[in-house]
A and B are shown apart, each in its own frame.
Chain A
Amino acid sequence: GENVEQHPSTLSVQEGDSAVIKCTYSDSASNYFPWYKQELGKRPQLIIDIRSNVGEKKDQRIAVTLNKTAKHFSLHITETQPEDSAVYFCAARMNSGYSTLTFGKGTMLLVSP
Chain B
Amino acid sequence: ETGVTQSPTHLIKTRGQQVTLRCSSQSGHNTVSWYQQALGQGPQFIFQYYREEENGRGNFPPRFSGLQFPNYSSELNVNALELDDSALYLCASSLEGYNSPLHFGNGTRLTVT
* A contact residues vs B (CB 8 Å cutoff): 4, 6, 32, 34, 36, 42-46, 49, 51, 89, 91, 93, 95-106
- 37-56 of chain B: CB within 8 A of chain A: 40-45, 48, 50, 55-56
Interface centre among A4, A6, A36, A99 (most CB of B within 10 A): A99
- Whether A51 and B45, one on each chain, are in contact in the complex, defined by CB atoms closer than 8 angstroms, is no
- Choose from A6, A103, A106 the contact partner of B44 (Cβ within 8 Å): A103
Q: Which of B1-59 contact A (CB under 8 A)?
A: 4, 31, 33, 35, 40-45, 48, 50, 55-56, 58
With A96-B98, A98-B98, A100-B48 as contacts: A43 and B56 at CB distance below 8 Å = no
Q: Which residues of A contact B45 (CB under 8 A)?
A: 100-102
Interface size on B, residues (CB 8 A): 28
Tell me the bound Cα distance from A95 to B100 in angstroms: 11
B42 pairs with A105, CB closer than 8 A: yes
Residues of B within 8 A of A104 (CB): 42
Measured in the bound complex, the distance between the Cα atoms of B40 and A6 in whole Å is: 13
Which residues from chain A contact B94 at a C-beta distance below 8 Å?
Answer: 99
What 1/0 mask marks residues of chain B from 88 to 113 whose CB sits below 8 Å from any chain A CB? 00100010011111111111000000
Residue of A36, A99, A102 touching B98 (CB-CB under 8 A): A99
A-B contact pairs, 15 of them (CB 8 A): A34-B101, A34-B102, A43-B90, A46-B103, A89-B43, A95-B98, A97-B55, A97-B56, A98-B33, A98-B98, A99-B56, A99-B97, A100-B48, A105-B40, A106-B41
